[in-house]
Amino acid sequence: MPPLSVSTQRSIQSAADIIRKSKRGVVLSGAGISTPSGIPDFRSPQSGLWSKVEPLEVASALAFRYDPFRFFEWLRPLATRILTAEPNPAHLAVSQLQQMGFVQTVVTQNIDGLHQKAGTKNVLEVHGTFQTMTCIDCYNKVSSKPYIRPYLEQGTIPRCSHCGGILKPDVILFGEQMPHQPWLKAQKASLHCDLMIVAGSSLEVLPVARLPMQAIERGAHLIIINHTPTYLDVRADVVFSEDVAIILPQIVAQIRYQLKETPKPLG
């Protein structure tokens, strides 16, 4: 890792100071926190998933109903990456911030489960999850586990044991509503937090992108760590236009130093 600039080091110290004073911290994570784990994002001009295919043609509710086989064919290599990925230092740093008592809730736009793999609790998956599937005919909800290996290894389309209908992963496609309870909890957490850390999100996808604005309008501090600019950079206390997998662990190490603890390896 190249040495951090003086301005970045100062920003890390400022962010650590803010976090240490928080009691109701929320982390809002996006695709950028998982790209270091090998999971591609959706919107990067060259490498993003949407640079290769029109999203409404494969990943909308209508497209799934019309041609679910094309959806599963498109999803298979991505699902392989997601289900075999491991948490990176940014996920571990979020978990450590929670263990230290500074972060209570994680709101994630990701469907990879890496926050949970890193040991984080109270993760609100507002764009759905791969952990369960629902039959598009009888609406029977089941665990994904029995279907994952046959799908990844042979491309077997998961089907309902009750009616034979196709099982759709409980991830949110274009044209679908977000899961009700996680979204309500995410809004509540944003309205009552005293700190929000945006980790790897460009804040371009509504309605999630409004959550940080709701937080700062209620007086919360805002820290943004994202490679590209966001619409709230001008309102944030601290902004890092750098790799979240580098910056977040450095912030945790600085907090430990301030607390006179020996920094622990982030794995």
Write out the catalytic residue numbers.
127
Rounded (5°) CA angle 20-199-85: 120
Taking Cα atoms as reference points, which of 6, 26, 13, 32 lies closest to residue 201? 32
CA distances to 2, 32, 119 from 222, in Å: 26, 17, 24
Instruction: Classify strands 123-125 and 25-29 as parallel, antiparallel or unpaired.
Output: unpaired
How far apart are the C-alpha atoms of 120 and 38, rounded to whole Å? 20
How far apart are the C-alpha atoms of 156 and 239, rounded to whole Å? 45
Could you tell me the sign of the dihedral formed by the alpha carbons of 224, 228, 234, 238, in that order? positive
How far apart are the C-alpha atoms of 112 and 91, rounded to whole Å? 12
CA distances to 52, 135, 179 from 128, in Å: 23, 15, 7
Contacts of 101 (CB under 8 A, 6+ apart): 23
Q: What is the number of alpha carbons within 13 Å of residue 83 lying toward its C-beta?
A: 19
Is-cis flag, bond preceding 265, omega within 30? no
DSSP class of 241: -
The two structure tokens encoding residue 109:
């736009």
